[in-house]
Amino acid sequence: MALIDVKTEITGNVWKILAKVGDEVEEDEPILILESMKMEIPVSAPDSGTLVEILTEPEATVVEGTVVARIKVD
């Protein structure tokens, strides 16, 4: 078992969280959506696994490289 961090690639505001803790997610499946400069940018799972932690909330501001979730991979 390994934990993988899901990180943001840009600075923006958390617009919507699409997944919840306990969900099975596939590689490249969007977990949340950031809003930056009037654009919606998905933050996707880097690998398939179980979402075990969400480290942000709607309307939070995040910077590039912020860990926003963790996925357990078997």
Reported as a single tens digit per residue, the pLDDT across 14-71 is 999 999 999 999 999 999 999 999 999 999 999 999 999 999 999 999 999 999 999 9
Rounded Cα gap, residues 11 and 69, in angstroms:
16
pTM: 0.91
Strands (E), 1-74: 2-7, 12-17, 24-25, 30-36, 39-44, 49-54, 61-62, 67-73
2-73 CATH choice from 3.30.470.10, 2.40.50.100, 3.40.50.300, 3.60.110.10: 2.40.50.100
Rounded Cα gap, residues 73 and 38, in angstroms:
33
